[in-house]
Amino acid sequence: MDQLPEKWAIKLDCQEVVDYANEYGFAPPYVKNEGYYAHFPNFVGGTTCCVVKKGYVEITIEDFRKLVLKNSILIGYKLVKPEFEKAVIEIINNNHKFWWESYANNCFKEYGYHFAYNENIDNKSINSILKKSGVLDLWFEPVYEMKYKIGDWITILNYDSEVHSAYNKTFQIEKLLHGKIWDKNSLFPISVEFIRKATLTEIKKLIKCVTLGSFGSKFEITRNKIICEKLEIPIEIILEIIDKYSTFKNSFNKIGGIIELTPLDSTRIFEIKIPWSNSILGLFSIIELREIYKIYKELRNVE
């Protein structure tokens, strides 16, 4: 499908669809329900029904991602008419029977498609051969993957500091919904049409790795996260220590339910450990924690 129908419906069996329905549906909240279809635009008095309402066209999750979320790319094709497998081999070329039976079928098991988009054989595009033969759209379904995912580093195209004041030019996706993305501290989304994947050079500017503490713990600091030995330490906790360390008592446990921080009043050194394993990440002075926050703050200001 290349164009979204004027009225469309989709099974309510995927969280992406549920999220969309909760945003644009007639009477949210909605939950996953394989027996119901969500309709857009809403019909009179509702969004969901156990059948596709008259006048609506059912679309697939791939169509939804491509045409509604606009956040998917074509990665390959899968054969949905297995009875035509022999015919496909003949069209491609009988000399490549082994290629199909081994490579293509193994590829399907691992990736969900039999051959990749624009994959060549004998210097000819497989999808072009099948398209020319008139069977690509009849016997195959396109397979898509999400172009952008939570945690991806992206860069805003045609960045304008006034228009995009809530964002840095390059940042990690913290939230992804309805084909739009959010930074951790932004209130307004940006559509995927206006972003691209960040380059390695752009990303390196926004990540600092330092070794601190009595155990030589390695910190990876970005503008959104502080990771120490694969454990995320909320910046709020470090700020709380910096702001209030002089008034802490002898015990301070399970802050945020993630880590334990115990100040040793005589030396102003803080022990950071993981509660569920009781493994200690290290002892950190207030000076070191201030250094972590300083780096974090500097990264927040990089465009």
CB-based contact 67:4 (threshold 8 Å)? yes
Number of domains in the chain: 4
**Whether residue 108 is found in the same domain as residue 136:** yes
> Do 224 and 271 lie in a common domain?
yes
Q: Of 70, 91, 113, which residue constitutes the final position of a domain?
A: 70
Is 157 found in the same domain as 212? Answer: no
Q: What is the pLDDT of residues 162-189, one digit of tens each?
A: 666 666 688 778 777 666 777 665 667 7
Choose one of 163, 180, 203: the last residue of a domain. 203
- Per-residue pLDDT of 114-133, as tens digits, reads 888 878 877 788 888 888 88
pLDDT > 70: percent of the chain: 75
Peptide bond into 29 cis (omega under 30): yes
Boundaries of domain holding 113: 74-146
Reduced to 3 states, what is the DSSP secondary structure of residue 197? strand
Q: Is residue 293 part of a domain?
A: yes
Q: Sort strands 175-177 and 190-191 into parallel, antiparallel or unpaired.
A: unpaired
- Look up the pTM and report it: 0.49
Q: Is residue 36 part of a domain?
A: yes
Please indicate, yes or no, whether residues 277 and 221 belong to a single structural domain of this protein: yes
